[in-house]
Amino acid sequence: MATSPDDEATVIIRTVGALGRIELNKPKAINALSTDMVQTIDAALRQWQTDTQVAAVLITGRGERGLCAGGDIKAIHRDISEGTNAENMTFWADEYAMNHAIAEYPKPYVAILDGITMGGGVGVSVHGSHRLVTETTKIGMPETGIGLFPDVGGTYLLAQLPSEVGMYMGLTGEPVGAGAAIAYGLADTYIDRDRIPELIEALEAEAFAVDTVIARFAEEPPENELSVAEGWIAACFSADSVVEIIDRLRRHPNEDAQKTADLLETKSPRSLAVTYEMIRTAKDMKLEEVLERDLRAATEIGKRPDLVEGIRAQVIDKDRNPQWDPPTLAGITEDEIRAILDTEQERTVFS
């Protein structure tokens, strides 16, 4: 493994002492993941897995804005607009295989979730064994706002959260900070952002003692910012459908609950219905089963109009005014949801 990084690379791979370093290096795009980046990370993980000279792995993101904002959705838009989903299928299959490798990694996998960590950024971090957050951390799965769903095994993670917080996060796309992330099990340790360089230096020097090093830098996390909202979240997001969730939010006396109903009605109705079903059922599934379903569902939902329209509205034209088709949940049928989630295809994540 090369030990001198190429600063022009989108992912910088190197070893320092016994620490394998992965640095995402697209700071202007908040380190958004592309197929080549995913493949580079996966190759490094495979090599280090059997390398007795590498004791642990650390993933960080360059720049001040965040670890990773997700996948390169402009590339996803381009592939669909050009009339094919072939590149997207390659990206998703490779990404989901990498997510599983991180979750099953036999060595400590340390992720510093500083700043924005969303979508695919969750996939390269929260599945790891050691998840460190800071005062700037924002963890979220905002896919219902672009016509997709919380992929990268996101529904598996969200399904484990208590008090219906996972359903709330998955449907609304709202991020959480360090306090809630630790309280609900999306992260393990709170550190001061200013001490990240010192922490990395310590990990590089003592990669065989990851737990000891992290313990030296750990601080008391902030309060769970969602604790005051847990009551209405649990009461409303435990409903048997998205339609009923919105109805409960509308009737709830809490003003934030009513604002959340407004927020849900800006999201793709198809994405809301699919996401609801995926989170509801993921709790009884294994991660590898969820990732296989993610690939089927992503491929299938890419054939429908909302994904390309959602990306157009958010990052291409940036008018923030997507025209969903259908425009309301009334136009989404159970047959369509089943078709998206149960589609058979030859390619799998683990082929």
Cα separation, 116 vs 109, in Å, equals 19
- State whether the Cα torsion 310-311-315-318 is positive or negative: negative
Cα separation, 26 vs 32, in Å, equals 7
User: Is the separation of the CB atoms in 56 and 110 below 8 Å?
Assistant: yes
The single residue of 94, 143, 164, 288 carrying the catalytic annotation is 143
Cα separation, 298 vs 93, in Å, equals 10
269-282 vs 165-172: helix axis angle to the nearest 10? Answer: 150
β-partners of residue 60 are 23
Which two structure tokens, joined as six digits, stand for 61?
A: 């993101």
Distance of alpha carbon 321 from the chain centroid: 23
Of 1, 25, 21, which is closest to residue 11 (Cα–Cα)? 25
- Phi/psi-derived region of residue 196, left when phi > 0, alpha when psi is between -120 and 50, beta in every other case: alpha
Element (H, E) at 167: helix 165-172
For residue 150, say if its preceding peptide bond is cis, omega within 30 degrees of 0: no
Cα separation, 199 vs 340, in Å, equals 44
Q: Which residues contact 313 (CB under 8 A, 6 or more apart)?
A: 319, 320, 321, 322, 323
Active site includes 120?
Answer: yes
The single residue of 151, 288, 294, 300 carrying the catalytic annotation is 151
The single residue of 120, 121, 166, 177 carrying the catalytic annotation is 120
Active site includes 231?
Answer: no
The single residue of 66, 70, 71, 177 carrying the catalytic annotation is 71
Which two structure tokens, joined as six digits, stand for 222?
A: 């902030």
User: Is the separation of the CB atoms in 106 and 57 below 8 Å?
Assistant: no
β-partners of residue 109 are 57
What is the DSSP pairing of strand 189-190 with strand 130-133? parallel
User: Is the separation of the CB atoms in 57 and 45 below 8 Å?
Assistant: yes
For residue 326, say if its preceding peptide bond is cis, omega within 30 degrees of 0: yes
Residues belonging to the active site: 71, 120, 143, 151
